[in-house]
Amino acid sequence: MIRVGIAGIGFMGWIHYLAYQKVRGVKLVAVAEPNEKRLSGDWRDIQGNFGPPGEVVDLSSVACYSDYREMFADPNVDLVDICLPPMMHAEATIAAVNAGKHVFCEKPMALTTGDCRRMVAAAERNSRLLFIGHVLPFVPEYAHALKIVRSGKYGQLLGGSFKRVISDPLWLKDFYDPNGCGGPMLDLHIHDAHFIRLLFGQPTAVTSRGRMRGEVAEYFQTFFQFDDPNLVVSATSGVVNQQGRPFTHGFEIQLEKATLNYELGVYADGIEVMPLKVLPAKGGVMRPKLSGGDMPSSFVDEIKEVIKCVQAGTPSATLDGDLARDAVVLGHKQTESVRKGRTIKV
């Protein structure tokens, strides 16, 4: 049985808590949270932009710490799940692996590439496993696309375009702070940067155009360059500062023998989905039946992958720290490209 301690009981701490109830081979043994009400198990003030509202949780058989550093000294904890704000990820991860724990840390891995490198190095030095919570490859449409690409059934990748655009998230106070959430690049686009890295490998250069807001890129379009000049990959991400345009995400992925496409939009009057389709080169339309569905169940699948890897003592081909670090590297190169108005080598 893998014994887990969650650091930070906010929106993600709650979603991860729910997921642990549905994963075999793992037991929640500790939580760390400075908010006294939440530490007593009253999580009713938690409500994110998906999933159910928080509830009153029975923590009587769980060790409760007001600070994560105390939890890292608990010998009953094998795996630390870091659901802290992004600026705490590096310090907390390094302290946890130094204390002998495996770490599963929410995205973005950290705010700087230097911190990401230090996290990977600290995990290696302590022979601990490091997983970064990039849930997108476990969202059914993205998971299925990844499975199709990895199967090789439709030949080599030719390219793809990816989209993730929101209205201004007014509830996130430090969203545009490069030392807080890190802006749309690190909070939002990082999902696609990581997915692009997973599918195509690390780009060799990026060309981005966009609008800045203060020190961070607000809205941007990027072309990613690879050693193979025939790979055509682009992404559109960021904030359109209009509250009537809440959220869209999706992709079109081209392979030699098929194209995959999917799009979802959340509007004031409901959600519209253009379901995942596989369009074979020879004609026709295939609409794969997907399992799972809602966002919380994608976290169950993500956490199953973490637990499977901890049990086997092997890194994850999807959630590994190296991949997540590469996504943060890409994000900073894209911001540099927007700022300087030219192509930037990766």
**Binding site residues, ligand NAD, CB under 6 A:** 7-13, 32-35, 67-68, 83-86, 106-107, 133, 135, 187
What residues does 131 pair with on adjacent strands? 104, 320
Q: How far apart are CA 142 and CA 30, in angstroms?
A: 32
CA angle in degrees (0–180, nearest 5) for 191-192-193? 95
Q: Return the number of the residue (112 or 259) whose C-beta is nearest ligand NAD.
A: 112
Least distance in Å: CB of 204 to ligand NAD?
28
Residue 334 CA, distance from chain mean position:
18
Least distance in Å: CB of 50 to ligand NAD?
8
Q: Return the number of the residue (35 or 202) whose C-beta is nearest ligand NAD.
A: 35
Query: Which residue has the closest beta carbon to ligand NAD?
Result: 10
Q: How far apart are CA 153 and CA 132, in angstroms?
A: 29
Least distance in Å: CB of 21 to ligand NAD?
18
Strand pairing category for 216-225 and 205-213: antiparallel
Least distance in Å: CB of 340 to ligand NAD?
27
Q: Return the number of the residue (86 or 159) whose C-beta is nearest ligand NAD.
A: 86
Q: Return the number of the residue (133 or 159) whose C-beta is nearest ligand NAD.
A: 133
Locate the DSSP E strands across the chain: 2-7, 26-32, 63-65, 79-82, 102-106, 130-133, 157-166, 205-213, 216-225, 232-239, 247-255, 258-267, 270-280, 344-345
Q: Return the number of the residue (200 or 299) whose C-beta is nearest ligand NAD.
A: 299
Least distance in Å: CB of 225 to ligand NAD?
28
Q: How far apart are CA 129 and CA 297, in angstroms?
A: 23
Q: Return the number of the residue (258 or 319) whose C-beta is nearest ligand NAD.
A: 319
Strand pairing category for 79-82 and 102-106: parallel
What distances in angstroms separate CA 318 from CA 108, 263, 278, one per listed residue? 15, 22, 23
Least distance in Å: CB of 231 to ligand NAD?
27
